[in-house]
Copies of this chain bind each other. A is one copy, B any other.
Amino acid sequence: MPKQNAFYAQSGGVTSVINASACGVIETARANKKEIGKVYAGNNGIIGALREELIDTSKESAKTIAALRHTPSGAFGSCRYKLKSLEENRAEYERLIEVFKAHNIGYFFYNGGGDSADTCLKVSQLSETMGYPIQAIHVPKTVDNDLPHTDCSPGFGSVAKYVAVSTREAGLDVASMCDTSTKVFILEVMGRHAGWIAAAGGLARDSEDAPPHIILFPEIAFDKAKFLKKVNRTVKKYGYCVVVASEGTQDKEGNFIADAGSKDAFGHTQLGGVAPTLATMVKDELGYKYHWAVADYLQRAARHIASATDVEQAYAVGKAAVEFALAGKNAVMPCIVRKKSKRYSWSIGEAPLEEIANVEKMMPRNYIDKEGFNISKAGFEYLSPLIQGEDYPPFKNGLPQYAKLKKVFVEKKLKKAFKV
């Protein structure tokens, strides 16, 4: 069989290390030129395949590809676009096959989270459903850390480190001024349904009295009276109170406490504004001076303070994806396996895509303490290894130097455009 090309695409919300996975895929493919042809990256994810907008990564220098390892965001463009089922939109699958055929694509590497795993799974079934032989491997990525099977999701460790570092730093700021100024500080972080990111704030706490004093998890129903009582007690005891609040904080009926009203392409509610909502409660009911921050994209783009462990794992799953493909595998995802040892160590495992697509891994209840306002020892022990190590990008003129791709597009071979 003549060697085939590979398609690689980034999907869903980007992270500060998804390009490290791209680097792992491309470098490993380059190291196996006998088996794999070129790696074509989808311009803006799967949409790039549908539109036949393929970026020829072979036109990028080894230096540029290596620089992807320290570059945040999706260098090839990402998208929020989920393939419909074969029954609902057969035309999309026919188009994909047309494009794959036209460019001799036999490997499909999809770098995304749970929603994207569903797309990858559908592509992996193309040989069965549409008679086009392809091997589809999912490369895990999500700041939400909600992928099942894998011990953690690449992208999470770095956002966790950002949140822990920021909580520690802002906590010192508030502590130093609380006597005459701000008494309550609220940091809003990401995490729609799972409290993993908010939980990471708890890593900043190195003593009983250290911030964060309160973490609000989506898993624990928000109880306004209980929250305000805890804030008040904390201010009385320590002089100030630092709160890390998940954007997904919700009441016991499941209503988000700050619902911006709009929805994204996957039908998820667009959130934002938990911090000001909570701050207003504190001001109205307790009268304390407050400040609040919403980290938003800063947290998932902060490559400058990425976790070295996370970077290594992101690279490793990209590398493993290519190795899996070379081993003839299909419909699988490399995952991170935590070894049972005292000192943290990990290896790469393998999980079937069927058990990953659209499944959200929630945070175990025992990672949260009894009161529900902080992480437990078990939670700390799970989270702490994931933020270990610094992996600073190179700086020039005071600013991080991130990869700039040439983005040479592969010549289109199909006459028909495809409307996405």
Contacts and interface: CB of A to CB of B under 8 A. Distances in A.
A297 B173 contact: yes
A171 to B, nearest CB: 8
B174 A307 contact: no
Contacts of A14: 173, 176-177
Contacts of A298: 166, 169-170, 187, 293, 295, 298
Contact of A297 (B185, B297, B402): B185
A34 B289 CA distance: 45
Mostly, the A contact residues are mixed
Given A175-B73, A265-B180, A292 B294 contact: yes
A72 B172 contact: yes
A30 interface: no
Nearest to A305: B304
A264 B181 contact: yes
Given A78-B176, A298-B166, A203 B291 contact: no
Given A291-B296, A298-B293, A390-B392, A176 B73 contact: yes
B81 A180 contact: yes
Interface stretch (A101-109, A121-129, A333-341, A381-389): A381-389
A74 B273 contact: no
Nearest to A279: B272
A89 interface: no
A398 B79 contact: no
Contacts of A72: 169, 172-173
A97 interface: no
A78 B302 contact: no
A303 interface: yes
A400 B179 contact: no
A398 B400 CA distance: 20
Contacts of A47: 179-180
21 contacts: A13-B177, A14-B176, A16-B169, A45-B180, A47-B179, A73-B169, A73-B176, A74-B177, A77-B176, A79-B179, A80-B177, A165-B400, A166-B302, A169-B302, A169-B304, A173-B301, A181-B264, A270-B289, A387-B398, A388-B398, A390-B392
Given A45-B180, A76-B176, 12 more contacts: A14-B173, A16-B169, A73-B172, A75-B176, A79-B177, A81-B180, A165-B304, A170-B297, A172-B301, A187-B298, A276-B276, A292-B294
